[in-house]
Structure 1
Amino acid sequence: MKRQRRQRKADEKRQFVEAEAWDEEVEEPQESPADEPDETGWKTSTAHLAGISRIVRVGVWALVGSGPALGMLAFLSSSGPAQGATKPVAAAPPASPVGPAGFAELFVSAYLQAGQGTERDLAPYYSGSVALAVKPGNREATQSTVIASREIQPGYWSITVAADVTAHDDKGKAKRLGVQYFRVGIQATGPAGGGGTEKAAPAAGYGATSLPAQVAAPTVLKPGGLAYETDRGSSSADPSVETARGFLSAYLTGSTEIDRYTSPGTRLQAISPAPYAAVKVTGVQDDSLHAGQQKVPADGAVLHQLVQVDATDQAGSAVSLSYALTLKSRAGRWEVASVDDAPAIRASGTPSAAPHTTTPSPGVRAATPSPSPSSS
């Protein structure tokens, strides 16, 4: 009995110790001063910090584990076509008027020669019903050219043709009627390069929409005043006139080397074969302000000339020609720098300019003076 009582007491004592240990494990820790809520209302504790640390560790390992999957997803996204990306669209080439213009010129020439009984000659150009009253062969275009073209709407053109017309009477005598102007409507099919609108068409096609309409001549414009206000005449005493004379003689007759009269580095070639045997200067105008000045200015001055010449061919026939030249001064002489594309026109209200001097760039050595034309 005593042994049983001692065993029961030992069991009760063991259970009591285990209960106290369980209470210590589940008892919430006491708040320390560090656990007091701050002014913002947030409260931190060692338990909270431990939980946050566990969450951060779990998130980091999740990112590490998902790295390969995210990389593969990014690769597939970049290799696929971009959604919503706008592809550049090539601009359509503008329609060319060359085809419709050439077709209209041929049509006008055929129309002028056609007449009563030969209307079928116009069938390749115009498919409408035609009844001509004029005698066939009564008129002809000795020359023709297109002077205006306008696209009225895509593939439809208005073409104006100038034709030098000659008429023939019943006896076959020719009489020149002069230049006449005809406007034609031309429809074009096919690619834009032929005046049409189709992108994949193999060839262009054309057709007139009516017979030509004779129209008034275009307005003749009065050109603006030329920039050459100083008249030098044809005096050989002026150095600039002498340079122009020597240059144009070499340029048109090949009698001397053209390099003797040109600035260094200027690339000009004489006409070959030479079309003329002799050249005579009949007048020179330039843009200097001093008509009586004959002394060559300092290096770098520029002078613009308009030179009139009579050029005589091998048969003795003279032809009048005009040349616009630009001269530059160097080493006490004038040299031709260029044969200009067209005479210079002075802007309204702008005075002509005197020869001006250009300052050489630092470090550029002055060119060695070339022999004057009279030295050879």
Structure 2
Amino acid sequence: MTAFVTSSGPAQEAAKTAAAPSAASPVGPAGFAELFISAYLQAGRGTERELAPYYSGSVALSVEPGARTATQATVIASREAQPGYWSITVAADVSAQDDKGKTKRLGVQYFRVGIQATGPTGAGGTAKSSTATTGYAATSLPAQVAAPTAIKPGALAYESDRGSSNADPAVDTANGFLAAYLTGTSELDRYASPGARLKAISPAPYATVKVTGVQDDSTSTTQQKVPADGTVLHQLVQVDATDQAGRPVSLSYALTLKSRASRWEVASVDDAPAISASSAPTTAPHTTPDSDAATATSSPSAS
């Protein structure tokens, strides 16, 4: 129906812009696909019924049950092919048993499967009502596909190598802060900027921490003098941490420091190391740690 407004009638309110429909969430279909792939790899001849909660089609498997297992499975890609229908790609760390029953790691393999979802968009379906019944079903057995393209990351934004000497005030601050952050042997606040919401890990996972190298984005050639208040410095800090049992662990931390009262203080523990604005990732040959993994990840891509 078309509405008409006359000049003699009361003023009409401008029509409110309709809210954009919320995008469907891939979380539910992705989790269902992970479970399906794990069950699929475990199943075999005579145990096809174990796949019934995921796929209702006719299944006849030739592999021995338990011959393969997924020690870990995780979704690496999801795409809504059409409303309520998802293409999910799962990476699985697969192991297999040989004729003597010895387990051998095959490496990471990739599987793609179509998942149909019912229910609200928050569950990956198409229903507008949040109370609609949620359900999932695979539309076929999985297809093994090729590994994603490997890339070489862009250059990081830390061009100055500052070493690990505490004679450098910025390195000394990073050392003290990370020791407090990881071991709890000192107060974190003494190294943090005022107002910084930083919290040490509890319980402390390590007994000792040693900084082995620091890179930063400073262009200054001097390391001994703290610049004027408010100067910001971004660091990438490499540490060797030792746990309570004496086991060493290598870690990296991206920190943002800010100068105040002739000292450096930690303003934040950054989510990720900073990438140079002028650098971009490039494709690189896919490499694997061993020949078994290379065989496992080189299967042809499904169309």
- The interval holding the TM-score normalised by the smaller chain is 0.7 to 0.9
**Is 1:277 aligned to residue 207 of structure 2?**
yes
- Distance (Å, rounded) in 1 between the aligned partners of 2:181 and 2:120: 45
**Would the alpha carbon gap of residues 282 and 132 (structure 1) be closer, same or farther in structure 2, given more than 3 Å must change?**
same
Instruction: Tell me: CA distance 1:254–1:92, structure 2 relative to 1, closer, same or farther (3 Å).
Output: same
Structure 2 equivalent of residue 371 of structure 1: none
Distance 1:97 1:289 in 2: 44
Contact 2:154/2:279 (8 A) holds in 1: no
Aligned counterpart for 2:54 among listed residues 122, 125, 133:
125
Q: Could you say which residue in structure 2 is the equivalent of 1:249?
A: 179
Matched with 1:195 is 124
Alpha-carbon distance, 1:191 to partner: 2.3
Instruction: Spell out, residue by residue over 1:310-345, the C-alpha distance to the aligned partner (whole angstroms, 9 max, x if none).
Output: 111111111111111111112211111111111111
Q: Which amino acid aligns with 2:194?
A: P
- How many Å separate the matches in 2 of 1:312 and 1:99? 39
The Cα of 1:94 is off from its aligned counterpart by: 2.2
Matching residue of 2:274: 344
Contiguous gaps of at least 5 residues in structure 2? 1-8, 281-303
SS at match of 1:288: coil
Q: Distance in 1 between matches of 2:267 and 2:16?
A: 50
Distance (Å, rounded) in 1 between the aligned partners of 2:89 and 2:122: 20
**Among candidates 32, 49, 60, match of residue 103 of structure 1:** 32
Match of 1:287 in 2: 217
The one-character-per-residue Cα deviations of 1:147-168 (angstroms, maximum 9, x if unpaired) are 1111111111101011111111
Output one character per residue of 1:8-48: Cα deviation in whole Å (capped at 9) or x when no partner: xxxxxxxxxxxxxxxxxxxxxxxxxxxxxxxxxxxxxxxxx
How many residues are treated as equivalent by the alignment?
Answer: 271
C-alpha separation between the residues in 2 aligned to 1:186 and 1:98? 12
SS of the residue 2:224 aligns to? coil
The 3-state SS of whatever aligns with 1:274 is: coil
Alignment partner, residue 91 of structure 2: 162
User: Aligned-pair distance for 1:205?
Assistant: 1.8
Change (3 A) 1:302 1:91: closer
- 1:27 alignment counterpart: none
Higher normalized strand content (fraction of residues): 2
Bigger fraction of residues in helix: 1
Instruction: Indicate if the aligned counterparts of 1:253 and 1:278 stay in contact, CA closer than 8 A.
Output: yes
Q: Give the secondary structure class of the aligned counterpart of 2:86.
A: strand
Residue 127 to residue 86, structure 1, CA distance change in 2 (3 Å): same
Higher Rg of the two aligned structures: 1
Equivalent residue for 1:319? 249
Q: Secondary structure in 2 aligned to 1:103?
A: helix
Counterpart of 1:250 in 2: which secondary structure? helix
Tell me if structure 2 keeps the 8 A contact 1:230–1:291: no
- Percent of aligned positions that are identical: 79
* 1:226 alignment partner AA: L
2:138 paired residue number: 208
**Which residue matches 2:153?**
223
Q: How does 1:343-362 map to 2 (within 5 A)?
A: 343-348=273-278
Q: Give yes or no for the alignment of 1:307 onto 2:237.
A: yes
Aligned residues of 2:158 and 2:216 also touching (Cα < 8 A): yes
Alpha-carbon offset, residue 125 of structure 1: 1.2
Conservation of the 8 A alpha-carbon contact between 1:185 and 1:208: yes
Question: Is the contact between residue 224 and residue 347 of structure 1 (CA under 8 Å) also seen in structure 2?
Answer: no
Q: Confirm whether residue 330 of structure 1 aligns to residue 260 of structure 2.
A: yes
Give the CA deviation at 1:199. 3.3
Match of 1:141 in 2: 70
What residue identity is the alignment partner of 1:237? A
Separation in 2 of the partners of 1:114 and 1:278?
Answer: 46
Moved more, 280-289 or 185-194: 185-194
**1:119-144 deviation per Cα after TM superposition (whole angstroms, max 9, x unaligned):** 11111111111111111100011111
- When residues 137 and 303 of structure 1 are mapped into structure 2, their CA distance, relative to the original with a 3 A threshold, is same
| Contact 1:305-1:326 within 8 A present in 2 as well | yes
Distance 1:176 1:293, change over 3 A: same
Asked whether the equivalents of residues 225 and 346 of structure 1 are also in contact (C-alpha less than 8 Å), the reply is yes
Displacement after TM superposition at 1:290 (Å): 3.0
TM-score, normalization by structure 1: 0.68
Post-superposition CA distance 1:57-111 (Å, at most 9, x none): xxxxxxxxxxxxxxxxxxxx86xxx8xx967645433222122111111111111
Structure 1 gaps, min length 5:
1-76, 351-376
